[in-house]
Amino acid sequence: MDVEGVDQHAGGEGNPWAKWVRQWTGEENRHGDVLNKYLYLSGRVDMRQVEITTHHLINDGFEIGTDRDPYKNFVYTSFQELATYISHNRVAGIAKDYGNKPLARMCKIISGDEMRHHKAYSTFVKEIFALDPSEMMIAFKEMMVNKIVMPAHFLRETGQKIGSAFEDFSNSAQRIGVYKGQDYIDIMKNLISQWEIEKISKLTDEAEKARDYLMKLPERMQRLQQRIRIPEESATFTWVKPATVGS
Ligand SMILES: [Fe+2]
């Protein structure tokens, strides 16, 4: 709502941006709500610890590097919605493999919503590329230089420094294949081809350089990716109750 050009007070109730943002946020909230209820009913999770972490997360805020710039925000959401599509879809697959049909179904529905969100945001960007190619190109490049970080990257548990639980969580997600470094590169490639970056012409010199940077980036990241090692030892989280025999 704070993004430039998205003035929720302009145009009264008919303001389409405000309507979109509210409905999108409402939908994301359903995702969090259903998963939270699932965790509660599973009996396997220490909900007090989960709530403490959530409370920290809200108090600590987030910094995703988009400022109030709509172009940067739409790059961020185009990327992020595809990332959430991938991760919820993978969790659905894992749940299915373990015979947990309700969880598989929930995650599958959520991943479908994320794909719809992704399509909306990537269409916005595509349209902006047609109208303002140079500025859009520079915004895309800047977001890639700063890297796309998760909104929950400050995640922590009580007594921990900001972001340390997120690091453990992210490593766990990589180890079990829910979201990996390779996915990040694949999403980047997907966006570059969807937006036909290669074909965009009539750019300013700065935007031309930004395009060259973007075109070379997936390969560069691929080389780096080969050298990254995920810590093998698994982390423990206060949220998860230890498994009891027979459960
Ligand atoms: Fe979403």
pLDDT tens digit sequence for 170-186: 899 999 999 999 999 99
Does position 246 have pLDDT exceeding 70, yes or no?
Answer: no
Q: What percent of the chain clears pLDDT 70, i.e. is strictly above it?
A: 98
Closest CA to 104 of 116, 90, 84: 90
Q: Which class for 187: exposed (0-12), middle (13-18), buried (19 or more C-beta within 10 A)? A: buried
Report the separation in Å between the CA atom of 137 and the middle of ligand 1, taken as the mean of its atom positions. Answer: 23
Distance 225 CA to ligand 1 centre (A): 26
Please write the tens of the pLDDT for every residue from 108-140.
Answer: 999 999 999 999 999 999 999 999 999 999 999
> How much distance in Å is there from the Cα of 227 to the middle of ligand 1?
31
Spatial neighbors of 226 by CB under 8 A, at least 6 apart, are: none
In sequence order, the 6+-apart residues with CB closer than 8 A to the CB of 200 are: 129, 133, 137, 211
Q: Which of 80, 109, 79, 117 is nearest to 92 (CA)?
A: 109
* Domain range annotation of the chain: 19-225
- pLDDT of 245 reads 61
- Mean predicted lDDT score pLDDT of the chain: 92
| Whether 84 contacts 31, CB under 8 Å | no
CA 81 / ligand 1 centre spacing (Å): 5
Torsion, Cα 164 168 171 176, to 10 degrees, reads -150
* Ligand 1 center–CA 206 separation, angstroms: 32
Q: What is the DSSP letter of 241?
A: P
pTM of the full predicted structure? 0.92
User: What was the pLDDT predicted at 233?
Assistant: 84
3-class SS of residue 176: coil
CA distance 113 to 111: 5
Quick one: what percent of the chain has pLDDT higher than 90? 69
Question: From ligand 1's centre to the CA of 5, what distance in Å?
Answer: 21
Question: What is the structure's pLDDT at 210?
Answer: 98
Decide if pLDDT at 81 tops 70.
yes
Q: What is the pLDDT of residues 28-60, one digit of tens each?
A: 999 999 999 999 999 999 999 999 999 998 998
More confident residue, 245 or 79: 79
φ/ψ of residue 240, rounded to 5: -95, 125
Closest by CA to 108, choosing from 160, 35, 173, 185, is 35
Classify domain 19-225 by CATH number: 1.10.620.20
